[in-house]
Amino acid sequence: MLNPYIGHESQLCSVEEVRLQGGRGDGMRLLQVRNAAGLEVSISADRAADISRVIFKGDNMGYFSPCGYVAPTYYDKDGIGFLKSFTAGFLTTCGLTAVGSPCEDSGEVLPLHGTIANTPAEQVRWEETEDEIIVKAKVRDCRIFSHKLVMDREIAIGKNANTLRVKDVITNEGDTESPLMLLYHMNMGYPLLSEESVVEIDSVKVVPRNEHAAEDLDTWSKMLPPTPGFEEQCYYHSFEGTGRAAIRNPRIGKGLEIRFDASTLDHFCEWKMMGVHDYVLGLEPGNCSADGRDVMRSRGELKFLKPGESKAYQVEVVFKEW
């Protein structure tokens, strides 16, 4: 029964579809979701139904890169051209057959972080239950004479609870086995992120990606102010059972907690980038590392999806006041 105090359900919770005008984001479809407890989420339908913005009770949670909104039309797949259109946002999905460094693997030239994030979603729609608003979409990572992977995505946002859940089911609709790589590139930004932020990652092991990261291994959880010339540092975390990563900023009294099944999303990258304007902390669960498909294959860690096979992955986020 509709609340007798309101004229339209959108007074409390809403999903509004808008289109951007001007610049490189011209024409992009956004679903702007608002709940009744202070959470606002923008979903980019033309960018794999990724999450571009999250506002929690008036404060920004994610990182928005200098690129701003960039439509798939401008995507450059050569080398690290991905960075020219890397909006980042709260969530950029990387995959589905390549994640991490550009490389050549089995005769195939692979771009940085794959192509799924620059693929428009299809069949975008939403529905409501008593407790949640659920946005659904289908994203195809397919090519003639090659792989044919389809991702069915659901993003569920609590109506009266500040929760967000991303569930993806990836199916191989082709007739040959395909590599399957997936990384949830979740990006924390100011004012949630600052030198005052407290970062907690319940890992049992932390491995620096390279020698530069190893220099500050003892302070992987310490955030810094924006630092000119800062070189990114990546740390690989291992978990047992449930994966958990959290960040809170005492100055704004807010934070969030990310949870995932570490048996399916068995890799986790902490991307610490404390540069000027390039100021972001990536908390990134995935089924692979960010070192590239060739490296994953050489280690015997590359995962595959058989014809007709499906695999499901899920990440949950809870936004909190402290």
How do residues 255-270 score in pLDDT, each as one tens digit? 999 999 999 999 999 9
* Average confidence score pLDDT of the chain: 97
- Domain, as residue range, for 22: 9-321
- DSSP three-state, residue 285: strand
**Is position 18 within any domain?**
yes
Evaluate whether 123 touches 136 at the Cβ level (below 8 Å): yes
- In sequence order, the 6+-apart residues with CB closer than 8 A to the CB of 178 are 97, 147, 148, 149, 172, 304, 305
pLDDT score recorded for residue 1:
60
Question: Above 90 in pLDDT, residue 304?
Answer: yes
Residue 230 falls inside a structural domain: yes
The answer to whether residue 78 is domain-embedded is yes
Cα distance between residue 161 and residue 298, in whole Å: 44
Residue 206 within any structural domain of the chain? yes
In a domain, 2, yes or no: no
Contacts of 271 (CB under 8 A, 6+ apart): 185, 232, 234, 280, 281, 282, 284, 290
User: Is 4 part of any domain?
Assistant: no
Tokens of 64: 């928005």
Distance CA 66, CA 88 (A): 9
State the chain's maximal CA–CA distance in angstroms.
63
State residue 2's pLDDT score: 75
Q: With 90 as the cut, is the pLDDT of residue 244 above it?
A: yes
Q: What backbone torsions phi and psi does residue 253 show, to the nearest 5 degrees?
A: 70, 30
Mean pLDDT value of segment 138-147: 97
CA distance 13 to 240: 37
Over residues 49-63, the pLDDT tens digits come to 999 999 999 999 999
Query: Is residue 203 in a domain?
Result: yes
Number of domains in the chain: 1
pTM for the full predicted model = 0.98
Does 44 have pLDDT greater than 70?
Answer: yes
Long-range CB contacts (within 8 A, 24+) of 109-112 = 110/292, 110/293, 111/77, 111/78, 111/79, 111/81, 111/82, 112/79, 112/80, 112/81, 112/82, 112/83
Residue 236 has a pLDDT of 98
Please enumerate in sequence order all residues whose Cβ is within 8 A of that of 54, keeping only pairs 6 or more positions apart, or say none. 39, 40, 41, 42, 60, 61, 62, 90, 164, 319
Helices (H), the chain: 211-214, 293-298
User: pLDDT tens digits, residue range 60-96?
Assistant: 999 999 999 999 999 999 989 999 999 999 999 999 9
Query: Does the pLDDT of residue 28 top 90, yes or no?
Result: yes
Residue matched to tokens 């800062």: 230
Question: How many angstroms separate the CA atoms of 110 and 95, rounded?
Answer: 10
User: How does pLDDT run across 275-287, given as a tens digit for each residue?
Assistant: 999 999 999 999 9
Mention every residue, 6+ apart, whose C-beta is less than 8 A from residue 202.
239, 243, 244, 245
Residue among 24, 141, 20, 120 nearest 74 (CA): 24
Report the CATH number that the domain containing residue 286 is assigned in CATH: 2.70.98.10
Read off the pLDDT of each residue in 173-201 and give the average, rounded to a whole number: 98
User: Is 174 domain-assigned?
Assistant: yes
151-175: pLDDT as tens digits: 999 999 999 999 999 999 999 999 9
